[in-house]
Chains A and B, each alone.
Chain A
Amino acid sequence: MLRFIFGRLLVLIPTFIGVSIIAFAFIRLLPGDPVMLMSGERVMAPERHAQIMAELGLDRPMYIQYFDYLVGLLQGDFGKSIISKRSVLTDFLTLFPATVELSFCAIVLAVALGIPAGMLAAVKRGTWLDQTIMGTALVGYSMPIFWWGLLLIIFFSGYLGWTPVSGRISLMYFFKPVTGFMLIDSLISGQAGAFKSAVTYLILPTIVLATIPLAVIARQTRSAMLEVLGEDYVRTARSKGLSPFRVVGLHALRNAMIPVITTIGLQIGVLLAGAILTESIFSWPGIGKWMVDSVFKRDYAVVQGGLLLIAAVIMIVNLVVDVLYGLVNPRIRR
């Protein structure tokens, strides 16, 4: 197992180099540069523009800039934001908990609803229940995220007034972040009502972000379950006189989970991508919103560093999924 993990960590090195090149090149391919955008509508004198570019080191040949960036990375230096001059790594670490909190709640919701829904659809195959669940899943999967988010805001925040529109917690509460996770920090602060407020702010973004993974997990669970329910060992389990609940929920589900766990792992990557839209809709101060803002400002350092860090997170998640996979499936365990 350790050898397996070590081998997978080695593969990460070339992947990192690839991602760093792509991230570095991608942001520079966009028209405009950070200095031009900083000057805004006022036209900057070409001499002044060239001077600032030189100060930032952006006038040097591309490969030298990349080499410089790579040397920094190897020393653990992800660079400084061109605009705010703050360290990219510090900003990332400050904002990342917000994204993790949202993504975690979303994946928990998607798994908690998706797996039972898929199981139910498989067991009741061909009935109206199956068709309703799968129809809903298809609608959820096809829903454009930003439109779905706006619909929910209009209905629940605007019309019913049940949930707030944007942000992470009501302005009435203020406390120093300890963990960066609002749910935990609000509990630590001990302020009455703070936790409840944090939860109400979390509900809508969680639903919006969970929608697509939920649909995918439900569909995957159903198809995996249908396949497994026809297996000989399910018949064996029933021939022992076990209850249908145990046959489906233990003997069949355990086997059906193997492909579903792979799907869940892949969905975590999708979640981080989805977070960019969801965070923008709900003004959620996470890395998604941070990345979008930086792209608009052509903040080269933040975009290339942020993308690399996000890629690292996804790679680590995939590694964890592979390890989990071995735990669930004894056939690939060594």
Chain B
Amino acid sequence: MPLLEIQNLTVEFPTISGLFRAVDGVSLTCDTGEILSIVGESGSGKSVSMLALMGLLPGNARITADRMQFDGKDLLTLSARQRRSVIGKDMAMIFQEPMSSLNPCFTVGYQLGETLRLHMGLGRAARRARSIELLQLVGIPAPEDRLGNYPHQMSGGMSQRVMIAMALACNPKLLIADEPTTALDVTIQAQILELLVRLQRENGMALVLITHDMGVVAETAERVQVQYAGQKVEEQPVTGLFTDPHHPYTAALLASLPERAVVGQRLPSIPGVVPGQHDRPDGCLFSPRCAFATDLCRREVHAQGPDFGQALCNYPLRLGIPTGHPTMSVALAGEDA
């Protein structure tokens, strides 16, 4: 049984104009020692699904799932108090904005020690020792001096290191990193990613890395899950995803990477925008922006099997050719030949 297993997770928020579905039937698994990356644009429900897992969504969110299991515990039936004994201990999370994620009114030492006291019941001296050890682990120089610092006295990269130290305080089995490098300088980004991967290997924990940066995915992840408008559209090992994307959305995302652009030509982009609350199409949500969409796609969409990375597509791509497509597959195959 995998460490983390979520099946058919749906999250809805009541708004003035009706229910807004932020996450739509997402399933995922992640095992000990594995790095799973969730990729998607803003609003694709990446963060919301993980916040739902942590139990950090506001009270008005409606969360349903067929299954939500972590480390043998059924998260759907846990009481709030039982859930709090899991999060921060066995399951920890770091966030996008390190500068605002630390409380400006408390010292680094206090904020680190708080977790240690709550989940491990350490005394004052033990907390201090463990805090110094943790800060050393995440590569902060002179950790003894840093304990008395306030967040405003530290840089963004330093703050993110402290956040990571806080998340690792109780040796969690699962670490969720929600776009941990988005707010940081490029050089710092690489350092933080390297740190996360190193810690993941050393501790043998599972790491869920949420990002919209394909470069980050390529460098760190082992398995990738692509989300679009709240749905999972594809799941593949990282090499497979980059060489042979099965969903047209993934293919279009990869094609629009500057690194893959042909010099002297316009950078390809995906026409249109992600559907919002009121313009969700029937059938495939990507159909309005898809080059291969047919009338069938605008009516209904079927998920493919593991051969096609469970792509949520009627005509999954195989080396860029839509399989079973009424017109395109023949034409493109003909071109190749």
A232 touches B87 (CB 8 A): no
**Complex-state Cα separation, A329 to B106, whole angstroms:** 9
What is the CA–CA distance of A159 and B56 in the complex, to the nearest angstrom? 53
Binary per-residue interface labels of chain A (233-275) against chain B in the complex, 1 for a CB within 8 Å, 0 otherwise: 1011111111100000001001100000000000000000000
Residues of A within 8 A of B107 (CB): 330
Instruction: Evaluate contact between A233 and B102: CB separation under 8 angstroms.
Output: yes
Shortest Cβ distance from A251 into B: residue:
B103
CB distance from A123 to the nearest CB of B (A): 11
Q: Which residue of B lies closest to A244 (CB)?
A: B80
The answer on a CB contact under 8 Å between B152 and A330 is: yes
A42 to chain B, nearest CB (A): 67
Given contacts A235-B95, A254-B106, A330-B152, contact A242 B101 (CB under 8 A): no
Given A233-B101, A233-B104, A329-B105 in contact, is the A239-B92 Cβ separation under 8 Å?
A: yes
**Measured CA separation A43–B151 after assembly (Å):** 74
Any B CB within 8 A of the CB of A231: yes
User: Which residues from B are CB-within-8-Å of A238?
Assistant: 56
User: Roughly how many angstroms separate A231 CA and B104 CA in the complex, as a whole number?
Assistant: 11
Q: Kindly state the separation between the CA atoms of A53 and B87 in the bound complex, as whole angstroms.
A: 81
A323 close to chain B: CB less than 8 A: no
Instruction: Decide yes or no whether A112 CB sits under 8 A from chain B.
Output: no
For the complex, is A48 an interface residue (Cβ under 8 Å from B)?
A: no
Chain B residues lying within 8 Å of A254, measured Cβ to Cβ, are: 103, 105-106
Report the Cα distance A231→B118, complex, angstroms: 22
Q: B147 at interface (Cβ–Cβ under 8 A)? A: no
- Whether, in the assembled complex, A331 has its beta carbon less than 8 Å from a beta carbon of chain B, the answer is yes
Of B86, B100, B150, which is within 8 A of A330 by CB? Answer: B150
Instruction: Chain B residues near A251: list those with CB within 8 A.
Output: 103, 106
Query: Contact at B105–A241, with CB atoms within 8 Å?
Result: no
Taking a contact as CB atoms under 8 Å apart, the answer to whether A239 and B89 are in contact is no
Interface size class of B (residues with CB under 8 A): 20 to 34
Task: Given A239-B56, A242-B114, A242-B118, verify A331-B87 contact (CB < 8 Å).
Answer: no
Given contacts A235-B95, A330-B152, contact A241 B101 (CB under 8 A): no
Interface size on A, residues (CB 8 A): 19
User: Is the CB–CB distance between B87 and A241 below 8 Å?
Assistant: yes
Bound-complex Cα distance A149 to B43 (A): 56
Looking at the assembled complex, report how far the CB atom of A286 sits from the nearest CB atom of chain B, in whole angstroms. 37
Q: With an 8 A cutoff between CB atoms, is A328 at the interface?
A: yes
Contact B150 A331 (CB under 8 A): yes
Query: Which of A239, A240, A243, A255 touches B104 (beta carbons < 8 Å)?
Result: A255
CB under 8 Å from chain A, chain B span 95-122: 95, 97, 100-107, 114-115, 118-119
Q: What is the chain B residue whose CB lies nearest that of A252?
A: B103
Chain B, Cβ-Cβ closest to A230: B58
B59 to chain A, nearest CB (A): 11
Report yes or no: B103 in contact with A241, Cβ–Cβ below 8 A: no
Report how many A-B pairs have Cβ atoms within 8 Å: 66
B75 to chain A, nearest CB (A): 13
Question: Interface readout for B72-96 with A: 1 if CB under 8 Å, 0 if not?
Answer: 0000000000001111110011010
Q: Given the known A-B contacts A238-B56, A239-B54, are A233 and B88 also in contact in the complex, defined by CB atoms under 8 Å?
A: no
A305-334, CB < 8 A from B: 328-331
- Interchain CB contact under 8 A, A243 and B84: yes
CB distance from B44 to the nearest CB of A (A): 20
A241 and B86 contact, CB distance less than 8 A: yes
Task: Evaluate contact between A331 and B152: CB separation under 8 angstroms.
Answer: yes
Contact A235 B56 (CB under 8 A): yes
CA of A83 to CA of B246 in the docked complex: distance in angstroms?
98
Contact of A236 among B84, B85, B86, B103 (CB under 8 A): B103
* C-alpha gap A251/B100 in the complex (Å): 13
For residue B35, CB closer than 8 A to chain A, the reply is no
Q: How far is the CA of A236 from the CA of B56 in the complex (A)?
A: 9
With known contacts A232-B95, A232-B100, A331-B150, A239–B106 Cβ distance under 8 A:
no
Task: Give the most central of A233, A237, A242: most B CB within 10 Å.
Answer: A233
CB proximity of B334 to chain A, nearest CB, Å: 54
Q: At the interface, yes or no: B241 with Cβ under 8 Å from chain A?
A: no
B192 within 8 A of A: no
Question: Which chain B residue shows the least CB distance to A255?
Answer: B105
Chain A contacts to B: CB under 8 angstroms = 231-233, 235-243, 251, 254-255, 328-331
- What are some 16 contacts across the A-B interface (CB < 8 A)? A232-B95, A233-B100, A235-B95, A239-B54, A239-B56, A239-B88, A240-B87, A240-B88, A241-B85, A241-B89, A241-B115, A241-B118, A254-B103, A255-B103, A329-B105, A331-B150
Q: Beyond A232-B95, A241-B89, A331-B152: 10 further Cβ-contacts under 8 Å?
A: A233-B102, A235-B101, A236-B95, A240-B114, A241-B119, A254-B105, A254-B106, A255-B103, A329-B104, A330-B105
Residues of chain B at the chain A interface (Cβ within 8 Å): 54, 56, 84-89, 92-93, 95, 97, 100-107, 114-115, 118-119, 150, 152, 163, 166
